[in-house]
Structure 1
Amino acid sequence: MAISKKQKTTIVAILVAGALATGAALFLKTGKGGSAHGDDHAHAGEHSHAEEHDDAGHHEEEKRASPGKIVLTPEQRAKTGVTVQVAGPAQVSSGVAFPGEIRFNEDRTAHVVPRLAGVVESVPANIGQQVGKGQVLAVIASSTLSDQRSELLAAQRRLELAQATHDREKKLWEGRISAEQDYLAARAALQEARIAVQNARQKLTAVGAATSATALNRYELRAPFDGMIVEKHISLGEAVAADTNVFTLSDLSSVWAEFVVSAKDLQRVRLGEKVEVRSTAFDGKAQGTVSYVGSLLGEQTRTAKARVTLTNPQGAWRPGLFVTVSVFGATVDVPVAVQAEAIQEVDGQTVVFLEAPDGFVMRAVRPGRANGSVVEIVGGLEAGARYAAANSFVLKAELGKSGVEHSH
């Protein structure tokens, strides 16, 4: 069928109008689609920030949920030297601690005096020197000693004469030549001469002088026993009296740990009670027993003195050193106990550090009786818990450095 020119014009107009409508629709759709896509990105960004905020809050909540936790890698833990033990039953003896001081063992301490007046010729001994029994400490020239040795020599000569006279008179009497009275007189004189010699020797022995010497006035002052010279009050050329304290000698292989006991604690400190002495200046301790408790209380202090005799082969317990003396009572069984070195003080709390998969966690506890090496735990810890024992102070230091908030 033939299409008229008018109809062709109408069809073209319809097609153009449809194309324009289609283009407008596509433009509108594209604009809306871009806006929607942008909204999706915005919502996604908001969701991402929300998730980050939630994660940060979660980590912060975890941190607050684990106060006092110390995270350590296996390598860090090995470097600290911390050892882990298991809390459990133990035997603990209740005790009480007293402040004390190391002093000289007065039974093994001597104030050396010359016992003879004179002038010092030499002083081979020095303060702080270890000397042996009989070793010469000083040499003194003494006129008194010269007189005593001269007396001994004269007595010995008289004894020799009396012995010869006695022997002669005895032979004459046995031969019926002289009277018995002469023999008896000679025998009496011999006995008196022997007594004089013995007396002169004892005078020299009493002052510690030898009965013979190259010089009659030479007096050698010697150490009465093995020990250390802790005081020296003598010098070359000095004139000393017989009772001058020129040396103080002490055998430091044995010392006293002295402490004072109040009236209320006297029933807990008895002779023979076991004690532990700890130094406040170094990591040292020693075991012993109470060797003396005073019977009287001081008028001013109302306390009694007590002491422990300690062996001191290495000389570590020096007189003047402050110590803590723990006196232990009867031993009892407790259900939960830890090593004393595991106990630490943090912010006024008594704590131990429990083992965790990635480190240690602080745990507040209530200690009970203690005997110096083991401490009873009456609250905050159960038997079987694994805790840091040796070197637990390292964990306390790490806790302070990390700035972790401590729970109270």
Structure 2
Amino acid sequence: MSLPKKSPAIAIAVIALLALAVLLVMVLDKPESTAAGNTSAHGGQADHEEVPRGPQGGRLLEQDNFALELTIVEQGVPPEYHVYAYADGEPLDPDNVDLTITLDRLGGRQDRIGFKPFEDYLRGQQTVVEPHSFDVTVEASYQGEEYRWQFDNHEGRTTIPNAMAELSGIATETAGPQTLERVVTLHGRVQVDPDRLSQLRARFPGVVQSIEGDLGTRVKQGETLAVIQSNESLQNYTLKAPIDGVIVKRNLQIGQATGDAVLFVIADLSQVWVQLDVFGRDTEQVEVGQTVHVGNLEGYEREGVIDWISPLAEHASQSVRARIVLDNPDGRLRPGQFVHGEVVVEQEEVPLAVRHSAIQDFRDFKVVYAKFDDTYEVRMLELGRRDAQWVEVLGGLEPGTPYVTQNSYLIKADIEKSGATHAH
């Protein structure tokens, strides 16, 4: 018995899905020894790498008989380095030690921190800003001897090859200035422009001989819609379309006697009105000239401008009508249809903003994940004003930095899996 043959398209699709699944498993199931910088809650490397610790619980750096213990203190103060010095295992007077620590961060930023003696330790003269993820160089001098150490202190960082990120749907944008909008939501309906509506009657009483135009038919100006025999002259005359449009109503049959009744209604729907109801306090904010984002229940969206606000209030609802004229070439806005309108009542430029969709929780921070080639790293944000799409960034992210806007949860999951959450 032979198996049924699969089409090449189906086979290719199956192979592609299997490949994507394998790549996602590779991304989200990396061994801890290669993921996200291998950091721990105490600073530097993962717990299984056995970082030497000093009496204060900090990282211990030793060379010959000289040692430094590095701690970052956060309780009650902005994060800063406190460094304790030892010789032959005994504490040293911090006045006798010169110290500089250089932090090299992703993106090319370098923080060079100087130290001054304070009580029994050397106190860093610069805040260690978040994230605490950097390559560290420690340079010290004591009794004419020079000492130097280098180590990695990574947190909130992971590496995903670009091809794998693309297959996983990880997308990025560049952080920069944006326009924030404050909006008022209104509701209303689509209406035919009265100047684009024609009601067609017989010119003379008579009898309908033939009908060319049917309900829903699109017609051109001058096109014959019906032939009528006049009662007086017994001559036939034609009823022609006065405008381009769609026949939305037909009220005649062959052999029917005509009088003053409307026989055809033609509507030009290439442009329509949107009438929005403005209630109460909103009337003080909604003005002619404001931009409106119009949408219907089908998810179709358009943008227009308020060109007229009625000076009269509706008796029953006490609302005021605001009108937006919209081009409707595809006919997606239908007269009688319910719509909503987001009226932009205020706009403000901000120098830096990120998308709502990009923001994740990381420890006690709101963050985005910055991208540097194929490496992603957390950026703790200080946030300001916001609208439906954007959030102003007051600190924590440099303008021009690419950041993840779609599927950022994959980055978060990879970092959390590696244990690379906070490093001191």
What is the TM-score with the length of structure 1 in the denominator?
A: 0.52
Correspondence for 2:240 among 222, 228, 233: 222
Matched residues in 1 for 2:369 and 2:248: separation? Answer: 49
Q: Is 1:375 the equivalent of 2:390?
A: yes
Secondary structure of the equivalent of 1:265? Answer: helix
Q: Is 1:136 the equivalent of 2:152?
A: no
- The answer to whether the Cα contact below 8 Å between 1:89 and 1:383 also exists between their aligned partners in 2 is no
Identify the structure with bigger relative contact order (alpha carbons < 8 Å, sequence gap 6+). Answer: 1
Paired amino acid for 1:86: T
Matched residues in 2 for 1:361 and 1:280: separation? Answer: 38
360-369 vs 110-119, greater mean Cα deviation: 360-369
What is the aligned partner in structure 1 of residue 269 from structure 2?
Answer: 252
- The answer to whether the Cα contact below 8 Å between 2:360 and 2:368 also exists between their aligned partners in 1 is no
- The answer to whether the Cα contact below 8 Å between 1:253 and 1:312 also exists between their aligned partners in 2 is yes
Matched residues in 2 for 1:378 and 1:88: separation? Answer: 9
What is the aligned partner in structure 1 of residue 208 from structure 2?
Answer: 120
Paired amino acid for 1:257: V
Secondary structure of the equivalent of 1:295? Answer: strand
Matched residues in 2 for 1:309 and 1:232: separation? Answer: 27
Q: 1:142 to 1:363 in 2, by over 3 A?
A: farther
Q: 1:378 to 1:103 in 2, by over 3 A?
A: farther
What is the aligned partner in structure 2 of residue 290 from structure 1?
Answer: 306
Q: CA deviation at 1:272?
A: 2.4
What is the aligned partner in structure 1 of residue 32 from structure 2?
Answer: none
Paired amino acid for 2:279: S
Q: 1:240 to 1:312 in 2, by over 3 A?
A: same
What is the aligned partner in structure 2 of residue 308 from structure 1?
Answer: 324
Secondary structure of the equivalent of 2:311? Answer: coil
Q: CA deviation at 1:255?
A: 1.0
- Please state which structure has a larger fraction of its residues in strand: 2
- The answer to whether the Cα contact below 8 Å between 1:227 and 1:250 also exists between their aligned partners in 2 is yes
Q: Larger radius of gyration, structure 1 or 2?
A: 1
Secondary structure of the equivalent of 1:276? Answer: strand
Gaps of 5+ in 1: 1-57, 63-67, 147-215
Q: 1:70 to 1:279 in 2, by over 3 A?
A: farther
Secondary structure of the equivalent of 2:190? Answer: strand
Matched residues in 1 for 2:209 and 2:257: separation? Answer: 10
Correspondence for 2:249 among 206, 224, 231: 231
Paired amino acid for 1:310: L
- The answer to whether the Cα contact below 8 Å between 1:229 and 1:249 also exists between their aligned partners in 2 is yes
Matched residues in 2 for 1:300 and 1:366: separation? Answer: 44
Q: Is 1:299 the equivalent of 2:315?
A: yes
Secondary structure of the equivalent of 1:296? Answer: strand
What is the aligned partner in structure 1 of residue 182 from structure 2?
Answer: 94
Q: CA deviation at 1:137?
A: 0.9
Q: CA RMSD in A?
A: 4.6
Task: Kindly tell me the number of residue pairs found equivalent between the two proteins.
Answer: 267
Paired amino acid for 1:139: V
What is the aligned partner in structure 1 of residue 350 from structure 2?
Answer: 334
Matched residues in 2 for 1:387 and 1:252: separation? Answer: 43
- Please state which structure has a larger fraction of its residues in helix: 1
- The answer to whether the Cα contact below 8 Å between 2:227 and 2:239 also exists between their aligned partners in 1 is yes
Q: 1:135 to 1:383 in 2, by over 3 A?
A: same
Paired amino acid for 2:390: V
Matched residues in 2 for 1:256 and 1:268: separation? Answer: 21
Secondary structure of the equivalent of 2:292? Answer: strand
Q: CA deviation at 1:274?
A: 2.7
Q: CA deviation at 1:254?
A: 0.8
Q: CA deviation at 1:122?
A: 0.9
Gaps of 5+ in 2: 1-37, 47-155, 418-424
Q: CA deviation at 1:226?
A: 1.2
Q: CA deviation at 1:330?
A: 4.5
Q: 1:85 to 1:235 in 2, by over 3 A?
A: same
For each residue in 1:184-209, what CA deviation from the matched residue of structure 2 results, as whole angstroms up to 9, or x when unmatched? Answer: xxxxxxxxxxxxxxxxxxxxxxxxxx
What is the aligned partner in structure 2 of residue 108 from structure 1?
Answer: 196
Q: 1:264 to 1:127 in 2, by over 3 A?
A: same
| Counterpart mapping for 1:326-405 below 5 A | 326-339=342-355, 342=357, 354-355=369-370, 368-370=385-387, 375-377=390-392, 382=397, 384=399, 386-389=402-405, 392=406, 395=407
